């Protein structure tokens, strides 16, 4: 499911224009080692995002239905403007989206759950925001 969400977000020119340091789904963290393209030639962090799966739970009346929670972490060293633009654009793309994972396991809908806003990430020296989405999925 994370791949389907990543593919949708990464294909959007408006979102990627805001995230000049890129969007990552396979990295554990934003760092110079794991996500080198998230930094400019001077080693400064660019606006970027990290997509992570958080929790999977059974849910609903069907034996194989469930919920998968996915978080989109947004970072920027220069304030909140770029990450706020990215957060709003991701919401426009994901809220009530119906995506099918590449493994064909099925998905019924993506729903926005909430945001953490106006935060600081001291280890990166950056501002941060996080959006959480709930994906109703078919578990197998």
- pLDDT, position 140: 63
CA separation for the pair 40, 74 (Å, rounded): 17
Burial of 28 from C-beta contacts in 10 A (0-12 / 13-18 / 19+): exposed
CA separation for the pair 98, 79 (Å, rounded): 32
Contact 74, 87 (CB under 8 A): yes
Q: Is the pTM of this model over 0.75?
A: yes
- pLDDT, position 67: 87
Average the pLDDT over 5-21 and give the result. 97
Secondary structure of residue 102 in the 3-state scheme: coil
Residue 107 has pLDDT above 70, yes or no: no
């Amino acid at each position: 499911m994370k791949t389907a969400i990543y593919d949708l977000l990464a294909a959007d020119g408006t979102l990627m224009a805001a995230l000049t340091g890129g969007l990552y789904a396979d990295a554990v963290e934003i760092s110079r080692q794991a996500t080198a393209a998230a930094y400019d030639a001077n080693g400064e962090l660019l606006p970027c995002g990290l997509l992570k799966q958080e929790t999977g739970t059974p849910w609903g009346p069907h034996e194989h239905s469930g919920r998968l929670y996915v978080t989109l972490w947004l970072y920027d060293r220069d304030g909140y403007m770029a990450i706020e633009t990215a957060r709003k654009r991701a919401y426009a793309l994901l809220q009530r989206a119906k995506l099918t994972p590449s493994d064909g396991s099925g998905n019924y809908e993506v729903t926005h759950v909430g945001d953490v806003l106006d935060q600081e990430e001291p280890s990166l020296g950056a501002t941060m925001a996080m959006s959480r989405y709930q994906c109703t999925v078919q578990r197998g």
